[in-house]
Homo-oligomer: A and B are copies of this chain.
Amino acid sequence: MEPILQNVARHIQLNSTEIEFFLSLLEPRSLKSKQLLLEEGKICKYSTFVLSGCLKGFTIDKNGFEHILSFATTGWWIADMYSLITQQPGQLNIQASSPSEVLLLSKTNQDNLYREVPKFERFFRILTENSLVASQQRVVDNLSLSAEDRYRHFCEKYPSLVQTLPQKEIASYIGVTPEFFSKMRSRLLKGR
């Protein structure tokens, strides 16, 4: 449980009773590679904290193409925020990209947590702000940068993912086909 307590301690301070209460709300789960945690069309019931491994959030368009919205590795949270907030069916799939250990915080428990330990409002406010910054940067990048520059940004931001993820997943995140990505990457490696 140490990684999640470190994550929380970056933004708020808890006493031992609050720590105990918080930990009692979390449900550990092990995911195999490619195991789905959430399927599009379903209601998202959990905020998920990644202890180890890597999860991806993605949509599938009407032509069957996969579009990756986000990755979450150790120390990150992931959810279909739209579905979690509204409790309406969402369009996001959340899947383990590699064998992963996660902690689930159900919406009911999260609301409970806000009521019992209001400083968690602050914690999730700050977390959501950081996600918003990353998401807005991605909108700007997608609008204003070439695929090459988007890939460079990705490598700078997620150096660990560049090494571990399948190339087709990075291609999907960047917003290009695997074929285009492969050619672009060879060109960049040759320094052209």
Contacts and interface: CB of A to CB of B under 8 A. Distances in A.
A143 interface: yes
Q: Provide the main secondary structure of the chain A interface.
A: helix
A67 B129 contact: no
A138 B59 CA distance: 12
Interface string A108-127: 00000010001101101100
Contacts of A139: 69, 135, 138-139, 142
* Identical chains bound together, number: 2
Nearest to A140: B59
A143 B67 contact: yes
Contact of A128 (B61, B67, B91, B132): B132
Interface of A: 59, 61, 65, 67, 69-70, 81-82, 85, 91, 114, 118-119, 121-122, 124-125, 128-133, 135-140, 142-145, 175
- 9 nearest CB pairs, A to B: A125-B125, A61-B144, A121-B121, A135-B135, A67-B143, A128-B128, A121-B122, A82-B133, A132-B132
